Structure 1
Amino acid sequence: MEQSPKKLLEQVQDVIRLKHYSYQTEKTYINWIRRYIFFHDKHHPKDTGSTEIEVFLTHLVT
């Protein structure tokens, strides 16, 4: 039986836990990634580029 690939946030969570980061750091990273995704109308981060990152960061500053 084939397993479906893990979702992005699950992959991030796995890497954070592998690196033994604190639980609070994990929650913070996941929250920022989620905010970024929702800001760009639920587009996957792999489909965005430096322009979208700049727009998001500018939005946070202003």
Structure 2
Amino acid sequence: MNRVRAACRRTGYTHQTEKTYRRWIVRYVKHHGTEHPCAFGKEKVRDYLSRLATGRNVAAATQNQALNALLFLHRDVLGTEWGAGCDFERAQGPERLPVVRTPEEVKALLEETDGLDGLVAHLLYGARL
């Protein structure tokens, strides 16, 4: 963990990123039976990420954060050279469509507001905010 800390500081990561990466690395090592991670290969990383997605049902952003921590461990701390074959598939979050109100909905909403709140709502809508 001292090597992880030193590598984080050498690359200029924030304290919070360092702390987060260390937590992911500890979970990863514990998942594989506390053996040293220099013995782990790409398949162990894929196995762990798959367990996160299926077993723990984590969000795509969480899975990508774990992947970044593990890539940092193997590339920057352990100096593992995986070459071009280390292109891990990143999890994709659900696509969210923006909520756009119809002109009738906006008109009904603005008609319900009065006083200072109504003035602010009208100004915001008029300024397209």
Same fold, TM exceeding 0.5? yes
Please list every run of 5 or more consecutive structure 1 residues that lacks an aligned counterpart in the other structure: 1-8
TM-score normalised according to structure 1 size: 0.80
Regions of 4+ moved over 6 Å: none
Percent of counterpart pairs with the same letter?
Answer: 37
| Bigger-Rg structure (1/2) | 2
Q: Is residue 2:14 matched to residue 1:22?
A: yes
* Number of matched pairs: 54
State the AA in 2 paired with 1:40: H
Q: Mind listing any 5+ residue stretches in structure 2 that lack a counterpart?
A: 55-129
Partner of 2:50: 58
DSSP 3-state at the match of 2:12: coil
TM-score by length of 2: 0.40
Q: CA RMSD of the aligned region, Å?
A: 0.8
Question: Following TM superposition, by how much is the alpha carbon of 1:19 offset from its aligned partner in structure 2, in angstroms?
Answer: 2.2
Partner Cα separation in structure 2 for residue 20 and residue 11 of structure 1: 14
Secondary structure in structure 2 of the residue aligned to 1:41: coil
- Partners of 1:50 and 1:21 lie apart in 2 by 24
- 1:45 shift after superposition: 1.0
